[in-house]
Amino acid sequence: MVMNESNENYLETILVLNHRLGNVRSVDIANEMNFKKPSVSVAMKNLRENGYITVSPEGYIHLTDAGLEVAEKIYERHTIISNWLTMLGVDPRVAAEDACKIEHDVSAESFDAIKRHINASTGKLL
């Protein structure tokens, strides 16, 4: 399975909802992403078949180690880029929207350079 932006967004959403709700179901993902439940069900089936999530008999969705790795990477990128843009004076809502676009396309090299720059500028380790 090729990991694309859509799959990354689903995994990141599962991670965020897991922290917020504890247990995550397809309906929670649909509500959070403003998608229809059948679309989410198809995506969950695809992620499950490719080893990124498991689904309990009660319908609770859990990230596998592989899914967690992707979700944490995307969430870290989103958080750091969003915070950085906000520090540069961008409206927080705009910064979050732009971070959603950038987080999927930025190379590891560029993202590491952004983190180094922020660390050098703020004196904080990210």
Taking the C-alpha atoms of residue 72 and residue 80, their distance in angstroms, rounded to an integer, is 12
Residue 105 has pLDDT above 70, yes or no: yes
Taking the C-alpha atoms of residue 89 and residue 85, their distance in angstroms, rounded to an integer, is 7
Chain centroid, CA 21 distance in Å: 16
Chain segment 53-74, per-residue pLDDT in tens: 999 999 999 999 999 999 999 9
Dihedral sign of CA atoms 119, 96, 14, 9 in order: negative
Give the domains, in start order, of the chain with CATH numbers. Answer: 5-69 (1.10.10.10), 75-122 (1.10.60.10)
* Residues ≥6 apart with Cβ < 8 Å to 50: 1
The confidence score (pLDDT) of residue 85 equals 93
The confidence score (pLDDT) of residue 119 equals 81
Q: Indicate the pLDDT class of residue 3, thresholds 50, 70 and 90.
A: confident
**106 burial class (0-12, 13-18, 19+ CB within 10 angstroms)?**
middle
Residue 47 has pLDDT above 80, yes or no: yes
Taking the C-alpha atoms of residue 101 and residue 80, their distance in angstroms, rounded to an integer, is 13
Q: Indicate the pLDDT class of residue 93, thresholds 50, 70 and 90.
A: very high
